[in-house]
Chain A
Amino acid sequence: MTSRSTLAQIRFGTGLGVRAQAEDPDQILRRLQGRDLAADEFPMETMQTRVADALRLHELRRARHESDAAQNSFTNYRREFRNRVARQLGTRVARAIWTEDGLRERLTWFWADHFTTVPHRVQMLGRISAYVDMAIRPHVAGNFADMLEAAILNPIMIRYLDQDRSIGPNSPVGLRRGASLNENLAREVLELHSLGVGANYDQRDVRQLAELLTGLSVNTDWQMVFRAATAEPGAEQVLGVSYGGDEPAELDDLRAVLRDLALRPETGRHISWKLADYFLTDVENSGAVDAMTSAYLESGGDLSAVMAALLDRPEAWQMPFSKVKRPFHFLASATRALGLDPEEVSRAPLGVIGRVVQRPMAAMGQSWQGAQGPDGYFDDDQEWIRSQSLAARIGWAMTMPSQIVRSLPDPRQFVDTALGDAASDDLIWSVARAETREAGIGLVLSSPDFQRS
């Protein structure tokens, strides 16, 4: 019989481990609304640091042919640069291992996917993590409108969805160069980030929002700027509401439209549905989405209230575990169960992180920060368990633990460490019969018991 405590930690946290996570709805919400201790413990580099680093790398690269010493400094710095990027992934794993507030990590992964950005150039590599920590993470227990605004107005998003290439046709620059709109960001804001593709909006709304978003750009220091010279003048109508008026376009118009979008009932439903589906199966036939949508609308987009509504549902506390863990979730929960030292994980160099986390994730179908498009990774459990990706999961489970743990635990104890009272009799029976310790640990981590949450 699976206890509520075990269920809470596995379904709404990052899994069982040395440090217990929140064990009931009140505790879960209290920690989620409290201080972000994991980020304090394992801070992420800021965007500014990354930009400065990239600039330094660029300078060293240009100077590298001047002397042997210059070549050396370039090579050394490049190694350090890459190691730092690896450490960002290590930091995310370390937080999941260390935390007692696992829902915050889970929600950060969820929202980073909801507001997917993908680096298309090497220098962008290290910046996605900074974007997630800056625009997403602080708002996972806050108001959705704040998160929407922070994400859409972030330089990473602006660059990723080409907003800096969108020029109002009647703006000074547009008139001079004959430049025009790029609808990319506007379309995704409506389709993916807020209302959802099924909502009642049309191409005119996309077009009008695209006009409203003109002016939004990024300067050379990677800061968001509003350029009046490229902003389309005049009022725009989005979903029947007029923005901008006759005044010159300004950033506040943009903020206003994003806030209004956040408060739309379609948005509340879209967000609630996605969140419910992230934690539960068969949400079509559950009342969870309705309850969460009501909470969303009554609270004006308070994501804590939405999560409270979810945690209040009986189906949130029913076994069995049915959602397939995404590869990062699997690896994070596995390293947590294996008792890796989060401090060491956060400092591990590129080669180790690549071997233990990054390449395995890719083999399991989830390239780190490498979603196919702005709609993020697959939503469907079926997509995650194909022969190839399952082989990668089993391969990791069977071979990696002995490489990263000093002394493998007895598999019969490890079942309990990893799954507690949620371990099935089948699993306990099988693990006791494993041929080797390594195989026993591998069975636990490969089992449906552990692969689902």
Chain B
Amino acid sequence: MARLTRRDLILRSAALGCSAAASPLLTPVSFASMPSDNRLVVIILRGAMDGLDVVQPMGDPAFRLARPDFQLGPEEGNHDLDGFFSMHRALEPLMPLWQAGDLGFVQAVSTPYRNKRSHFDGQDLLEAGTPDGTEGQAHTDGWLNRLLQNMPNARRETALAVGREEALILRGAAASVSWSPSARLALSDATSDLLGYLYRNDPLFDDAFQNAEFYSSLLYGDFGSEEMADGEMAEMMQEMIDQSNQSNSVQSLASFAAERLRADARIASFSIGGWDTHRSQIGGLQRPLRTLATAILRLRDGLGPAWSQTTVLAMTEFGRTVHQNGSQGTDHGTGGAMLLAGGAVRGGRVYGDWPGLDEADLFDRRDLMPTRDVRAYAAWAMRGLFGIERSALESHIYPELDMGSDPSILL
């Protein structure tokens, strides 16, 4: 397989961690094979997905009141799931999966992270899988890596981190493979807004930034493969501008992950960004949701028969405020939602205990109250997929976790 020998493949292992051979600048490539037939894909939704807009609690009367300007419920094109929750219209392509029982959600969950609502800390905790209060620490490993350490037959090729972003979730003593396509990563609206803010008092940068979007291929870090003549360059750039960038790159991530999961890999992880919808959420949430839907469909198509043995968990660092803010968006919150997909999950339902949205029910009187640790669901998934001992899950993989009763999210 020629694709696997590309230079972009980066071999990561703790044993090599300190030597020049493992340097991202110097690394060569390799690959090989593995046990268990079950597959686990973890998609990190970076930027804090608004679980309340994705899985809309229409049955709770307080919801509409909190978000008067949002497009909520089936009358706005969203999909009624069970009479209480509606699924966001941008996930429409996933409706067949819902109907087939290959798609489900968990509502009102969160990591143990509380109060500070920092993206970095929140994502660190989500990937490290550690308790609240550990966010300031230097995390040496992530929970998927500790899962590998608890899989006696795991080899380096068992786990695959796809994408350029740092994969804390897979970092650690157990070796894994990481692959980064040359594809681009979108500059999300939120990042673009922050850049605009930084440039606002510097006319030179501010003016240039106004039209920088036109050069989106450059903006997404694609500098071309070779030096090219002007004509060729212009042509290629136009081609790239025509493509929607993150969506495209995530498609290739998901396809590659599926290809590897069909072969030797059993665990894969990648990220989708763009969820930080502080303003104009009606439009702003469409893009990442469509990307997420595409990624899941790519995984299903690419996995073929192995889809039936696959569990996809899409998790975010925290949810968003119950009330809309002054710019038709939402701010950083606490409780949120997780998406479950795959032929191995018991889909077609929304899991979780609904806490209610009356002011007294909220966390800090502003956020959806998490009613369960999101790690508990992931832990039960790992138990079901790979037979990991409960004691290992509750201490080593997820320190200080109480898994509670089995929510039976797997078939």
Contacts and interface: CB of A to CB of B under 8 A. Distances in A.
Interface residues on B, range: 35 or more
Nearest to B221: A399
B275 A435 contact: yes
A432 interface: yes
B198 A387 contact: no
Contacts, number: 172
B198 A448 contact: yes
Nearest to A426: B198
Interface in A420-453: 426-427, 430, 432-440, 442-443, 446-449, 451
A213 to B, nearest CB: 33
Given A387-B212, A435-B188, A341 B197 contact: no
Given A359-B223, A426-B197, A448-B199, A391 B212 contact: yes
A8 to B, nearest CB: 23
B215 A392 contact: yes
Given A359-B223, A399-B164, A352 B204 contact: no
Contacts of A404: 24-25
B338 to A, nearest CB: 19
A424 to B, nearest CB: 8
Interface class of chain B by DSSP: loop
A43 interface: no
Nearest to A382: B204
A359 B185 contact: no
Contacts of B205: 385, 390, 448, 451
Q: Which of A324, A352, A438 has the most CB of B within 10 A?
A: A438
A267 to B, nearest CB: 31
A251 interface: no
A359 B215 contact: no
B221 A436 contact: no
A79 interface: no
A439 B188 contact: yes
A35 B17 CA distance: 35
Q: Which of A394, A436, A438 has the most CB of B within 10 A?
A: A436
A436 B219 contact: no
Q: Which of B166, B168, B221 has the most CB of A within 10 A?
A: B221
Given A404-B25, A412-B120, A438 B165 contact: yes
Contacts of B188: 435, 439
Contact of B119 (A394, A435, A446): A435
A385 B215 CA distance: 13
A403 B24 contact: yes
Interface stretch (A12-20, A26-34, A343-351): A343-351
Contact of A352 (B26, B46, B212, B221): B26
B273 interface: yes
Q: Which of A386, A439, A446 has the most CB of B within 10 A?
A: A439
Given A362-B227, A363-B224, A430-B197, A402 B166 contact: yes
A363 B23 contact: no
A438 B166 contact: yes
B115 interface: no
B378 to A, nearest CB: 20
A448 B120 CA distance: 23
Contact of B46 (A345, A392, A436): A436
Given A408-B166, A426-B197, A391 B219 contact: yes
Interface string B144-170: 000000000000000000001110100
Q: Which of A340, A403, A411 has the most CB of B within 10 A?
A: A403
A400 interface: yes
A434 B120 CA distance: 8
B164 A348 contact: no
A410 interface: yes
B191 A443 contact: yes
Given A398-B221, A407-B171, A435 B166 contact: no
Interface string B341-354: 00000000000000
Given A387-B214, A394-B195, A448-B199, A434 B119 contact: yes
Interface residues of A, number: 62
Contacts of A351: 7
A435 B273 contact: yes
Contact of A411 (B7, B120, B223, B227): B120
Contact of A435 (B23, B47, B198): B47
A324 B203 CA distance: 13
Nearest to B18: A406
Given A403-B180, A439-B191, A392 B223 contact: yes
B123 interface: yes
A359 B227 contact: yes
Contacts of A344: 20, 23, 25-26
A411 B46 CA distance: 15
Contacts of B25: 340-341, 344-345, 348, 352, 356, 404
B220 to A, nearest CB: 6
B209 interface: yes
B53 interface: no
Contacts of A277: none
A355 interface: yes
Contact of A395 (B223, B271, B273): B223
B164 A402 contact: yes
Contact of B221 (A395, A412, A449): A395
A435 B284 CA distance: 14
Nearest to B121: A410
A360 B221 CA distance: 8
B280 interface: no
Contact of B223 (A363, A427, A432, A443): A363
B204 A381 contact: yes
A396 interface: yes
Contact of B220 (A349, A399, A402): A399
A451 B204 CA distance: 11
B216 interface: yes
A434 B194 contact: yes
Contacts of A447: 198
B223 A394 contact: no
Contacts of A363: 218, 223-224
A443 B165 contact: no
Contacts of B24: 403-406
A293 to B, nearest CB: 29
A433 B23 CA distance: 30
Interface string B104-138: 00000000000000111001000000000000000
A410 B276 CA distance: 18
B221 A387 contact: no
Q: Which 9 A-B pairs have the closest CB atoms?
A: A399-B221, A391-B215, A435-B47, A387-B211, A359-B223, A391-B218, A390-B208, A435-B276, A391-B212
22 contacts: A324-B204, A344-B23, A347-B20, A359-B227, A385-B204, A387-B214, A388-B212, A394-B195, A395-B219, A399-B164, A402-B166, A408-B166, A426-B198, A434-B119, A435-B191, A436-B46, A439-B190, A443-B191, A443-B198, A448-B199, A448-B202, A448-B205
Given A362-B227, A381-B204, A439-B273, 5 more contacts: A360-B223, A363-B223, A396-B223, A426-B201, A436-B271
Interface of B: 7, 17, 20, 22-26, 46-48, 118-120, 123, 164-166, 168, 171, 180, 184-185, 187-188, 190-191, 194-195, 197-199, 201-202, 204-205, 208-216, 218-224, 227, 271, 273-276
Interface of A: 324, 340-341, 343-345, 347-349, 351-352, 355-356, 359-360, 362-363, 381-382, 385-392, 394-396, 398-400, 402-408, 410-412, 426-427, 430, 432-440, 442-443, 446-449, 451
